[in-house]
Chain A
Amino acid sequence: DTEVTQTPKHLVMGMTNKKSLKCEQHMGHRAMYWYKQKAKKPPELMFVYSYEKLSINESVPSRFSPECPNSSLLNLHLHALQPEDSALYLCASSRGPGQGASRSTDTQYFGPGTRLTVL
């Protein structure tokens, strides 16, 4: 299995709702990522998990809460979102996060994304 999967494909939520995005990979990858992508823009990194521990939080508002229950799963919990949070949310994984200046970054593979609309 060489795929990253994400559910749901589409999500519409109100500003008072609580919802979760899910991501799964079975490639044995130990690094997983959440990105946000607005139309006509590159993916923007939100969080990085390395060996199931949060290693990077790119100053993301607390209404986004990541969780990594095990090495194959990554969740993004959403609460009290704003309309400007509407975007494509992409999950990605890689074999490892890179370990030191002498090691090159491992290839990242993206999931199909969740198209989120906040009303």
Chain B
Amino acid sequence: GENVEQHPSTLSVQEGDSAVIKCTYSDSASNYFPWYKQELGKRPQLIIDIRSNVGEKKDQRIAVTLNKTAKHFSLHITETQPEDSAVYFCAGSSGNTPLVFGKGTRLSVIA
């Protein structure tokens, strides 16, 4: 089955700097890769997703890149703000399988 590895487990950046979180997956049939942000005590909230027919997707300060050959995808947050502080989860699945989540990255943006 699918296995999703996520790094780093914790990340601290200065406000205004960029943050990058990386995930790798094992199942070459996986074709959908969402990223969720979870603030303390709240629900996981979808912030961006990418499907395997595109290599990059951008939404304001957030971007995701996908390298199907290397089986990895990354989340990029530019101009970080304190409200970006949260736990971020990547996930992957194919049309036949449920989402498999990475272990999460705790991002701290220091003002």
Seen from chain A, the residues whose Cβ lies within 8 Å of a Cβ on chain B are 33, 40-43, 45, 48, 56, 90, 98-105, 107-113
Interface string of B63-85 (1 = CB under 8 A from A): 00000000000000000000000
In angstroms, Cα B1 to Cα A102, docked, is: 17
Chain B residues closer than 8 Å to A56, beta-carbon distance: 98
| One of A43, A90, A101, A104 near B51 (C-beta < 8 A) | A104
With contacts A41-B103, A42-B102, A42-B103 taken as known, whether A101 is within 8 angstroms of B94 at the C-beta atoms is yes
Seen from chain B, the residues whose Cβ lies within 8 Å of a Cβ on chain A are 29, 31-32, 34, 36, 42-46, 49, 51-52, 87, 89, 93-99, 101-104
21 contacts between A and B (CB under 8 A): A33-B98, A40-B104, A41-B104, A42-B89, A42-B101, A42-B102, A42-B103, A42-B104, A43-B89, A48-B98, A98-B97, A100-B95, A103-B95, A104-B32, A105-B99, A107-B34, A107-B46, A110-B45, A111-B43, A112-B42, A112-B43
Interface of A is mostly: loop
In angstroms, Cα B2 to Cα A105, docked, is: 14
Interface of B is mostly: loop
B43-A107 in contact (CB<8A): no
In angstroms, Cα B51 to Cα A100, docked, is: 15
Chain A residues closer than 8 Å to B89, beta-carbon distance: 42-43
**Which residue on chain B has the smallest CB distance to residue A3?**
B43
Tell me how many residue pairs across A and B have CB atoms closer than 8 Å.
61
With contacts A40-B104, A43-B44, A90-B43 taken as known, whether A98 is within 8 angstroms of B93 at the C-beta atoms is yes
Shortest distance from the beta carbon of A45 to any chain B beta carbon, whole Å: 5
B103-A98 in contact (CB<8A): no
In angstroms, Cα B96 to Cα A98, docked, is: 6
In angstroms, Cα B95 to Cα A103, docked, is: 5
Shortest distance from the beta carbon of A40 to any chain B beta carbon, whole Å: 7
| One of A48, A104, A108, A111 near B31 (C-beta < 8 A) | A104
**Which residue on chain A has the smallest CB distance to residue B104?**
A42
| One of B44, B95, B96 near A110 (C-beta < 8 A) | B44
In angstroms, Cα B95 to Cα A99, docked, is: 6
